[in-house]
Structure 1
């Protein structure tokens, strides 16, 4: 049995992971998926990490999984609790001391060809069942940017095995862009699955399969 700490992205809630949690728990694994204080102007990355560490509690040898902006929080958690592996899904991949607001320029995001999607569902949930996508939008929260300009309190990448899983149809982070960032920042060739930016809702079983395979690899 493995324990998975699942970290949601910007303006979201732990509910995002509920289908993956159900898959993993049915297979005998333990999961936590806390709500981060992303709508709180007084909270920054350290407080996001606090929420995850509190949810993990005294669990040991956790597999930490960060989705999208959760990629900034996940490595901070790895410095504070016993971790077997770090998995980043459709992620932002921070450099030490980098602010979230500086990420886009530092990774040359605007130089990557991508479509223009003004609609939230078209950008994030294009392959999610309509009723589920509507529920996700309803549950979403405003993402505070009050403290996202602060340097991330990350001095070095944590010394744990790290996996990057990208989505071939991601409209927010195009695959070519994430392949390049993963190579430049971590020296990693990412694994890939079909689907858009939110595979925990569009492909929960396939994502759970991947996470379970990572858990077996981590021992």
Structure 2
């Protein structure tokens, strides 16, 4: 049996994983969807890591799955890992802040380029960026979005090296927020890994839960 520890992206809402959890647990595995009140300015990256560690509740050899900004929490979580899997994630280098990551990787420019190619103006549209491929029957079940506090964006990711465990990167082919080409390049440069590219946008666990579950079950061994 595998215990999947599911770390959400900015906003921190555990319901993001609601379509994925039943697909992971049908084979007898365990899936723990972590909720982090990222709209609380009193919390930052160290507190996020503690919340994730507490959710593991002493389990050993967990598969930590980090979505989007959860990539900055992942290396700071002191749990015994079986594997580490990034999903449309911000992959940091030691000491980097989430705010620095966008300029360092060219993420903002990459997003703007696909917006311009689609004939869109400079105003950010969360629905266009995040919800464009989430199934219509799933949309009504989404929790109200939380606006993440500014606190973690200026905090360094305090780790010295990646854990010596199998590490994988999953990229949504149709991601409009972190375009696939950007993610593939960052994974190669920062981890020396070739990602698995699957159909779906930034909210991959909602847009293509079955496809993501298949990849997670396969990579977790």
Normalising by structure 1, we get a TM-score of 0.92
Q: 2:11·2:37 contact (CA, 8 Å) conserved in 1?
A: no
> Which residue of the partner structure matches residue 92 of structure 1?
90
Q: 1:124 aligned to 2:150?
A: no
Q: CA deviation at 1:26?
A: 1.3
Bigger mean CA deviation after superposition, 113-122 or 82-91: 113-122
Picking from 185, 194, 203, the partner of 1:180 is: 185
- 1:125-152 Cα deviation digits (max 9, x unpaired): 111123523443x432110012420211
CA distance, structure 2, for counterparts of residue 111 and residue 120 of structure 1: 17
| CA distance, structure 1, for counterparts of residue 139 and residue 102 of structure 2 | 26
Listed as ranges, the gaps of 5+ residues in structure 2 are none
Distance 1:179 1:146 in 2: 28
How many residues align structurally?
213
Distance (whole Å) between structure 1 residues aligned to residue 153 and residue 89 of structure 2: 16
2:205 aligns with 200
Look up the match of 2:21: 21
Whole-angstrom distance in 2 between the partners of 1:134 and 1:123: 18
Q: Which whole-Å CA distance do the structure 1 matches of 2:48 and 2:177 have between them? A: 22
CA RMSD of aligned residues (A): 1.4
Residues 49 and 73, structure 1, Cα contact 8 Å, conserved in 2: yes
Contact 2:95 2:158 in 1 (8 A): yes
Q: 2:71: which partner in 1?
A: 71
- Superposed counterparts of 1:106-117, under 5 Å: 106-112=104-110, 113-115=113-115, 116=120
Q: What does residue 157 of structure 1 align with?
A: 162
Other structure's SS at 1:139 match: coil
The correspondence of residues 4-19 of structure 1 with structure 2, limited to 5 A, is 4-19=4-19
Report Cα offsets for 1:186-209 as digits up to 9, x if no partner: 111111101111111111111111
Change (3 A) 1:37 1:43: same
Cα distance in 2 for partners of 1:206, 1:131 equals 17
For normalisation by structure 2, the TM-score amounts to 0.91
Tell me, in whole angstroms, the C-alpha distance in 2 between the residues paired with 1:122 and 1:191: 24
Shift of 1:110: 3.6
Aligned to 1:104: 102
| Distance in 2 separating the partners of 1:141 and 1:190 | 29
